[in-house]
Amino acid sequence: MSDRDNLAKRAIPHMTLSNPTTHPVLPSSAYAAPFDSSAGRFAVTGTAILTGGTGEIGFASSRALLQHGLQNLMLFDLAPSTDKVDQLRQEFPQSKIEILHVNVADEEDVARAVDRTIEMFGALNALVCFAGIVGCVHALDMPIAQWRKVVDVNTTGSFICAQAAARKMVAQGTGGRIIFTASISAHRVNYPQPQAAYNASKAALVNLKSSLAAEWATYGIMVNSISPGYMDTVLNEGEGLKEARDSWCGRNPMGRMGLPEEVAGSVVMLVSRAGKYINGADIVIDGGGIVF
């Protein structure tokens, strides 16, 4: 019998949707203040992993989560910056902050790092994926190796981290939060730079977010994504990018690029008690550029 004939005999797995008896809900006592207070509504507790955590956006989000009460922070980065970790430790001496050298595209490396996080902090409550790469090259000239690397880091790497984190959250039975960093590039073609691989990798992340939100809600795991616009970071500095920056700002209703801390607020909301009924959402943070 051929493989094609076997298709008619296959059975597919079915998702299990959540219900009030199976959905893990973090008790109110886990938060620093009652839910109906200003502090309690946006309280962040427990342990969070941030990949790409020493980049400018990841660092700003790390600070914001710690400001809102996060007790344990683990940073995954391919090029760890101990200076930034020391800065966070000085500013938040009441919190435990660690960093590990991790290649998010390496399944075994990620599994070891997540295991190490659990060993150090005892549990895992949130994962925020900032690790990613970009490449601007005309599609006709793009080496396939570059295409594969961009997709491997941005899309596959995010899934590897999410799967490893979710397995721990399911075993704990306490639910959790997972946030992917997509991009405005997931929603429209950027101009003037050609970056087909990056755009495709981020668009895939938005759908992956929705797929995992559907599958993992039954475990109390909320999966969402953020889609930042052009950010005023070192990646977008230099005279060689002046023309592109002028174009990006000129096509934005607010006339400027965003700041890393303007992304951090959405991360806090999605990880905090305020985001406990937000699942499968993508928040565009681009000053309104998407309206054009």
List residues with catalytic annotation.
183, 198, 202
Q: What is d(CA 178, CA 226) in angstroms, rounded to the nearest whole number?
A: 11
Closest CA to 87 of 116, 106, 66, 110: 66
Q: What is the distance in angstroms between the CA of the first residue and the CA of the last residue of the chain?
A: 54
Q: What is d(CA 50, CA 59) in angstroms, rounded to the nearest whole number?
A: 9
Q: Is 287 helix (H, G, I), strand (E, B) or coil?
A: coil
CB 97 within 8 A of CB 67: no
Adjacent-strand bridge partners of 77: 101
Q: Is 284 helix (H, G, I), strand (E, B) or coil?
A: strand
Q: What is d(CA 184, CA 195) in angstroms, rounded to the nearest whole number?
A: 12
CB 161 within 8 A of CB 205: no
CB 70 within 8 A of CB 96: no
